[in-house]
């Protein structure tokens, strides 16, 4: 490899390994505090909560979303669902009207103004102690709300709790890919929560105390990543965000690579721009882990993961091109296939350079965190071969959206929601 490429590889590799080890050590330190509740629980108190469901052209999924909310195991007089039609152009409003007379559901309609305006509209029309939001393509499990609520009841300083987000019935290859990735995210978010470093309270069913909005204001547009901006704002004001690993919310992942690409472009662009907007709180001890490691490392890993994995892919592609070139030059050696007249496997030609070894270590660390993430969901340690599939495919496609998002950020090109 070229010298500069190698040096950059080692720097990024060092930071990535540092962060992974930091996370693993934190996990092992505090693993006994992690709960895996399977049984139904009862709360000592059931605070009031409003769930905002912003809808924009969600005629196909919104009914299921609302039904999943109605099935939440929570006293009906304590929960209000406010579905806001954000100027849909399809049949969303007609679907919502079916729930018009439901005692727990309020339906509202407004002109299209973006997701954050729809959620804000719901917040303004509510008076509950807690506020949550559920995208109209996501679904909750009956126990989810209670499990999350325990975090607020246990610690009055907890201002927001994020759930574990999983992919709903992965059907396509792209969705399977995300399923593995989301397992990884469960681990990362849990540890970030332990360290006070969460930088996103995801749209699907994060719960906030009303105090957050009365003290800090409502959601902002924030480069189409309002769920990230609110987390940054909370961290800036020292508001505690936690993660509840055994509260599950299912979301519909993008079905194909193009849709996934667009989603990631929006996330990475949003993360980059929010980091820029909040640059003043970076690398300051008073903001703790969030400012010292979480955001900077998130930023570095955004570059490092595709760089390291992409470099590996580049080597493989280069090898394949050489192989093709060889066969174009001398043709196929037909002896090769059937007589097993292959050159013997020779350890000499196995690449034993330091960058390969550090790359393998990083891969193993990431794999183990995915396995632990899966354990946080299922309660069992099990290696899933899809992890390998995930890492291979991600190596190939992740560099594209990172580079494009960076380009957009630098040249101030906005990313679209869909």
Partner 1 sequence: MKREQPNDWKKYLIVFLITLFIFATAFYVSNNLNNDKLEEIRKIEDSIAIDILSLETQFDLFEQLSCDNITDSILSKELGELASRIEYGEKNFDSLSEELVGLKKYYSLLQIKDFLLMQKVRERCDLNIESIIYFYGREDCDDCRKQGYVLTDVRQDFPELRVYSFDYYLDVSAIEAIKSIYKINEDLPALIINGKTYKGFQDRAEIEEIMPELAKIREQREAIEAAKIKAEEDEKSMSLEKSNTEEKTQETKNVTEQQ
Report how far residue 23's alpha carbon sits from residue 369's, in angstroms, rounded to the nearest whole number. Answer: 9
Q: Least distance (Å) from partner 1 to the CB of residue 243?
A: 14
Q: Least distance (Å) from partner 1 to the CB of residue 404?
A: 30
- When asked if residue 157 is in the footprint of partner 1 (CB under 8 A), the reply is yes
Report how far residue 148's alpha carbon sits from residue 414's, in angstroms, rounded to the nearest whole number. Answer: 34
- When asked if residue 357 is in the footprint of partner 1 (CB under 8 A), the reply is yes
Q: What single string gives the DSSP state of each residue in 171-221?
A: -SHHHHHHHHHHHHHHHHHHHHHHHT------TTT-EEEHHHHHHH-S---
173/323 with CB nearer partner 1? 323
Radius of gyration of the chain, Cα coordinates, nearest whole angstrom: 24
- Which parts of 297-326 interact with partner 1 (CB under 8 A)? 322, 325-326
Q: Least distance (Å) from partner 1 to the CB of residue 260?
A: 32
Question: For the chain, first and last CA: distance in Å?
Answer: 39
- When asked if residue 1 is in the footprint of partner 1 (CB under 8 A), the reply is yes
Which has the closest alpha carbon to 219: 206, 230, 211?
230
Q: Write the binding mask 21 to 60 for partner 1: x where contact by CB under 8 A, - elsewhere.
A: xx--xx----------------------------------
Provide the edge-to-edge strand list for the sheet that holds 158-167.
105-110, 79-86, 49-55, 130-133, 207-209, 158-167, 240-251, 138-140
- Choose one: 70-78, 94-102, 192-200, 398-406; the region binding partner 1 (CB under 8 A): 192-200
CA-CA-CA-CA dihedral for 6, 12, 17, 20, to nearest 10: -150
Q: Least distance (Å) from partner 1 to the CB of residue 350?
A: 9
59/358 with CB nearer partner 1? 358
Candidates 34, 361, 367, 377; binder of partner 1 (CB under 8 A) is: 361
Q: Least distance (Å) from partner 1 to the CB of residue 224?
A: 28
Q: Least distance (Å) from partner 1 to the CB of residue 372?
A: 17
Q: Least distance (Å) from partner 1 to the CB of residue 195?
A: 6
Distance set, CA 338 to CA 114, 326, 344, 408 (Å):
62, 19, 15, 52
- When asked if residue 208 is in the footprint of partner 1 (CB under 8 A), the reply is no
Which residues of this chain interact with partner 1, rule CB under 8 A? 1, 6, 10, 14, 17-18, 21-22, 25-26, 157, 194-196, 237-240, 286-289, 322, 325-326, 329-330, 333, 348-349, 351-354, 356-358, 361
């Amino acid at each position: 490899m070229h010298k500069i490429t190698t040096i950059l590889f080692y720097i990024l590799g060092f930071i990535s390994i540092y962060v992974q080890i930091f996370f693993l050590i934190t996990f092992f330190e505090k693993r006994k505090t992690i709960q895996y509740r399977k049984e139904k629980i009862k709360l000592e108190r059931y605070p009031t909560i409003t769930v905002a469901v912003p809808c924009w052209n969600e005629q196909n999924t919104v009914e299921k979303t609302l039904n999943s909310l109605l099935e939440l195991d929570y006293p009906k007089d304590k929960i209000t669902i406010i579905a806001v039609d954000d100027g849909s152009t399809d049949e969303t409003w007609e679907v919502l009207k079916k729930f018009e007379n439901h005692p727990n559901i309020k339906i509202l309609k407004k002109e299209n103004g973006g997701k954050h305006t729809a959620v804000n509209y719901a917040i303004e029309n509510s008076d509950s102690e807690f506020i949550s939001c559920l995208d109209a393509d996501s679904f909750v499990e009956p126990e989810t709300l209670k499990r999350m609520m325990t975090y607020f009841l246990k610690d009055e300083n907890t201002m927001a709790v994020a759930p574990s987000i999983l992919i709903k019935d992965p059907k396509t290859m792209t969705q399977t890919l995300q399923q593995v990735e989301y397992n990884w995210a469960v681990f990362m978010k849990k540890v970030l929560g332990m360290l006070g470093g969460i930088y996103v309270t995801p749209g699907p069913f994060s719960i906030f105390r009303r105090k957050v909005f009365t003290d800090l204001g409502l959601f902002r547009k924030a480069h189409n990543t309002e769920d990230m901006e609110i987390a940054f704002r909370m961290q800036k004001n020292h508001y505690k965000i936690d993660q509840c690993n055994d509260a599950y919310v299912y979301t519909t992942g993008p079905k194909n690579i193009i849709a996934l690409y667009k989603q990631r472009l929006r996330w990475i662009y949003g993360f980059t721009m929010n980091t820029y907007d909040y640059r003043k709180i970076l690398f300051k001890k008073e903001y703790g882990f969030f400012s010292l490691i979480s955001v900077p490392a998130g930023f570095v890993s955004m570059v490092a993961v595709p760089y390291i994995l992409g470099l590996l892919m580049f080597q493989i592609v280069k090898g394949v091109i050489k192989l093709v070139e060889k066969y174009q030059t001398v043709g196929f050696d037909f002896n090769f296939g059937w007589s097993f007249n292959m050159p013997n496997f020779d350890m000499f030609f196995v690449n034993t350079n330091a960058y390969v070894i550090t790359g393998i270590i990083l891969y193993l660390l990431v794999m183990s965190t995915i396995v632990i993430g899966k354990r946080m969901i299922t309660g069992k340690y099990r290696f899933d071969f899809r992890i390998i599939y995930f890492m291979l495919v991600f190596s190939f496609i992740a560099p594209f959206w990172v580079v494009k998002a960076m380009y957009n950020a630098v040249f101030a090109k906005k990313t679209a929601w869909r």
